[in-house]
Structure formats: C-alpha cells, structure tokens
Amino acid sequence: MPEFRKNGITATALAFALLLPAACSSGGETGGAAVDVPAATVPANPPRPADCAPVPRAAPTTADGWLGITATKPDDVGLVVDDGRGSVVSHAPDAQMPIASAAKIVHVAAYGRAVAEGRLRPDEQVRVGDWENWYLASDAGAHPGALDALGIPRSPEGTALDPNRTVTLQQMVASMVQFSDNAAADYLRDRLGDQALIDAAAAGGWRDLDLPSELGAQLALVRPQEAPPLSAPRSVRGPAELALAQRFAADPAFREDSRRRLVAQAEDVEAYLLESERWARSTSTGSAAQLAGLWRAVISGSFGAGADVARNELEPDAPRPDGQVRAVKGGSFPGVGTMAVSVRRPDGTIGVGVLLGRGFTPTTDLNDVGLAQLRLLVQAVEDPAARSRVLCVA
C-alpha cells in the first residue's frame, strides 16, 4: 500500500536509528497568522572540500546510497542539513517535492496552537467511528497498529470492533505522529479548518502551503475517473482530493464502495505499485527548506503559542544518555521517501535535517529507505566529516 509504517520506518529500526551515537473548510476560528515571519530559506553552501572521495553507488536503501543519488540524480533530491551551530549544507532546498507524511508536522503544529489558544482540548473524547470515517486501508497497517497500541480490539480489515469506543484527541494526534495514521491527519484538518494549517505552516516560514488530504489523495488513486488527471496542477488536484475525502467521511455507501475498489485494485500488486509511483508524483509537495523551517520553529519554540504542545508530540521519547532529545517524522509512497529529524542538545543548540527523495524503483522496501535516510541525516547533523561528505555531492 502507498504509505509506510510507524513514522516512516518500523519501530525497531526507529529505535536503533535514534540511538546512533553522536560524533563528538470546517473548524473553529484560528489565531492570527505569522505574517511577519520571512519565507524559509537556507544560506548558500560553502565551497566543496578539495579531498572529496569518489561518489558512492546510488541506492535508496543505504545512507551512502543517498549521497550517490544526490550526485547522479540531482533533480530527485531535496536536502537540508543544519547542525544548529552555524554549519548548513543543502541541495536543491527550494525544489518542490512530494512530501508524503512528513507533512504531518503541519497538523501537529496547528493542533498545538489550537490547544494553547483553548480551541481544542487534548483530553476531549473522540468516538473511534468518527475517526475511522476518514480511514482507507492504504496505510500499510498504520491505523491497525495505532488501534493495537491503544488496546482497541479490531477487525481483520483494521477497524475497531466497537466504533463507539472513544480515545482522547491527544491519543489520536500521537497515533498520527508515531504510527503515521492518515485518518487522524484528515480528521484534524476537518476539525481545525484549512486556515489553521496555513497559519501554522506560515509561522515556520512555509508560505503557499499545498494542503494535503491524505485520504483524498488515496481516493484519487482508487477512483481516478473522479479525479483530475495526474498531469493537472496541484491547484486543481488539491481541492478535488479534499472533496473526495469529505464525501468519503460523510457517505457510508461511498466509503464502502471505495474500500472494495481498493481491495480489487491491489490484487495486482505489480500494476498497483507502478500506478502508485505515477500517482505519487501528483501528490502534495513542499521543499526541504520549508519543512526544515517549520520543524526548527516548533522544536526551538519560535513558532509561538503551542510550540511546547507540538514538540511534546514530536518528541515522545525520553532523553538519550547524552541528554539529547531526538524527533523523527518520515513518510513514503512507492518511489518516494521523505524524512525529517531534529536533535535537541543539552547546550540549547538544535540540529535539523530534511531529506526528500523520489525516482527509485517502486518495489523498493520503504522501511529500508526510511532507515537509510534517517541514518544519513543524523550522521550529517552530528558529524562534521559526514556533513562534508554531503557537501561533496550537494
């Protein structure tokens, strides 16, 4: 299915990567937009080192392989590595690329602001059936995994056996971050309203947000005859995707028909993956600079009201033995892998890394892609030598 598992990689792989050693529509009224925040940018790269090693073999499933992809397929990579101590390296930081579930930081930030302003309560009880009105089983087990973690019995199809069970709104947000639950993201968009997401992105310098509808994008794949062609601009596809998602949430018959179509479509796995790769290039986009800007704003607190709430969701784990707190959010579709990571250090500095990639074989194991991207980013944020290797291909 087009999306991959917990936070872009499996829970075991994520835990390992976070322990890598350091080298030394609807919704209520929103708060005011951060109109005075400049658009996200990154400085020009320093000169390349004189002693660059040969370019590694391009491969999306190894950290070095992403260096090779950056060097040999430069149009398929957007990258920002900022150690938070004055060293920044980037490649095509302003290029618009599919961002998949890495976009969910926008929802987290908007949720944090809404909580801080009293428009949402983390302890609000949400009926699971209302959450699942936005659920299409195209998330590689993210939603079933979230239900299992919450102790909610479910059907083999991945929906709660008792739709009248409730969870808190905070638990739903945690499911969105930790399991990459798409239904939670669409539920939040509907509750918050589009302007809340636009304002949240702008607070980190992310202008002209291409609002993602996780469900709507998947429905455009499942029901292509009811969506604009893949070649249509995002200004056309985005509203059409949202309309499909809203109909799915409101119309039980449409919902069940869409679920049946997905099952039938996915029976031919090879054809489904190939079509999914084409479709993935039509999904919502952002740049590495935009994603890095919002990520830093939330983790540093410069985002403003609600930054602490959002940061707590992005950083669910305890500090490492060295005092660092790391946060990760990835995403993927066939042929697309995205990753963002932050490293908050005891001395107050914050490193941020973002890698957006596309163009690899759609049958590639997306868990391996996510782990490779995460390793590269953590190493480059923490190790000057690793950062120099990135600079050699940037």
State the average pLDDT over residues 120-133: 98
* Of 330, 312, 316, 341, nearest in space to 367 by CA: 330
CB 185 within 8 A of CB 131: no
The pLDDT confidence band at residue 36, using thresholds 50, 70 and 90, is confident
pLDDT attached to residue 21: 36
The helix (run of H) or strand (run of E) holding residue 126 is strand 125-127
Q: Do residues 328 and 14 touch, judged by C-beta distance below 8 A?
A: yes
Confidence check: pLDDT of 301 > 70: yes
User: Hey, what are 230's tokens?
Assistant: 């893949």
Q: Which two tokens stand for residue 352?
A: 């941020």
Confidence of residue 344 (pLDDT cuts 50, 70, 90): very high
pLDDT the model gives residue 60: 98
pTM attached to this predicted model: 0.91
pLDDT digits (tens, 9 = 90+) for 50-96: 999 999 999 999 999 999 999 999 999 999 999 999 999 999 999 99
Instruction: Name the band, by pLDDT with cuts 50, 70 and 90, for residue 150.
Output: very high
pLDDT over 60 at 238, yes or no? yes
- Using the predicted structure, report yes or no on whether residue 7 has a pLDDT greater than 60: no
Q: How far apart are the first and last CA of the chain?
A: 32
pLDDT of residue 276 exceeding 80: yes
Residue 9 reports pLDDT greater than 50 = no
Question: Could you tell me which residues are beta bridge partners of residue 80?
Answer: 90, 354
Mean model confidence pLDDT for the chain: 92
pLDDT at position 348, please?
Answer: 96
How do residues 166-200 score in pLDDT, each as one tens digit?
999 999 999 999 999 999 999 999 999 999 999 99
Please state, for a pLDDT cut of 70, what percent of the chain lies above it: 91
SS3 150: coil
Asked if the model's pLDDT at residue 317 lies above 70, the reply is yes
Could you tell me which of 1, 309, 294 has the C-alpha nearest to residue 144? 1
